[in-house]
Amino acid sequence: MMSSTITTDINKAFKLDTIGNTTYTIQELKKLGKNELIDIAINIIKQKKHLGKIIYREDFDFIKVVTDNRKIIVSFERNVLYVPLYAKFYYNLEVELPSGKVKQKSNRNNCYGKNGHFHKDSGVDFYSKTKFYIPTKEHTKYINLVVKAIYGSSIEINTRAWDLKMTIFEENDHFYVEEKAENPNSKSSGSYYKIHKETGEIIGTPKIETHFTSAPKIPGVSKDQNRLEALGFREIF
C-alpha cells in the first residue's frame, strides 16, 4: 500500500495512504488547533503537483477550519473574485481531513473580450485545464476601485470570511459585478452593478438584493447561512 508523509512546522507526521487512513482520529485532529490544521492542509496542497502553483496563506483573504465531527474542512477563501477579459480561473480551495482530498472551488469564466485572444495566464482556450488565479498589481487596483465604489473607502477585503462572494467580470470600459451567496439553497437572487473602469462610478441603477443585510452597509453579509454552515459544519477556533 502506497503512503506519503506530510510534516508540519513542529515536526508532527500526518500520514495518508491511498484509501485515506491516517494516524489521527477526528477528535485528535481537532485538538491540534486551527493553525496546525492549516499547516497540514497547505502541505497537502503542495504535494498536489497538478495544481501547478505554489500556494501560500497570503494568497487568500480568509482561511476557515470547520468540522461536522465526521470530517474537517480547511477552506482557503477569497471574498472578491476578479475575472480578467477572456479568461477562466479557480479562486478558492478546500482540503478535507483526514482523507487529504483537495477540491478546487469558485470557478469563474469570462467569455467577453480581447477579440478571442485567451488570457495568457489562463491556458490556451476554455477547454484547457482551469488554473489557479494569482492577482496582478493592476487587478488589485481594479478590485479596490470596485469595492470602494460600492462600499466606500473604509472597507477591508481580507478581515473576515464573507457569506457572499463578489465576482468582478472585466469588460472593455467597465466592470460587471455580481454578489451572490455561496449557499446553493439561498433564496436570494444576488446584487448586480456596473462600474466605470476609469472613473470608478456606478453606471445606471444597480439591482440590490433586499435579502442581504443592508444596514449598516457591510460587504458580503447575508441573512442566509453560508454553504458550509448549511451543511452542518461549525468553525474550529
Q: What confidence tens digit (pLDDT) does each residue in 23-36 have?
A: 677 888 888 889 99
* pTM exceeding 0.85: no
Highest-scoring range by mean pLDDT, 3-7, 15-19, 128-132, 182-186: 128-132
**Contact predicate 213/224, CB 8 Å:** no
**What pLDDT band is residue 199 in, cutting at 50, 70 and 90?**
very high
Per-residue pLDDT band at 3 (split at 50, 70, 90): very low
Does the pLDDT of residue 188 top 80, yes or no?
A: no
The mean of the pLDDT values for the chain is 79
Residues 6 or more apart whose Cβ sits within 8 Å of residue 11: none
Whole-number Cα distances in Å, 175 to 18, 63, 129, 143, 183: 44, 27, 25, 10, 24
Residue of 48 and 88 predicted with greater confidence: 88
Handedness of CA 20, 35, 78, 179 (dihedral sign): positive
**Cα separation of 20 and 226, whole Å?**
27
> pLDDT by residue (tens digit) across 119-176?
888 877 777 888 899 999 999 999 999 999 988 876 778 777 777 789 999 998 999 9
* Count of C-beta atoms within a 10 Å radius of residue 36: 17
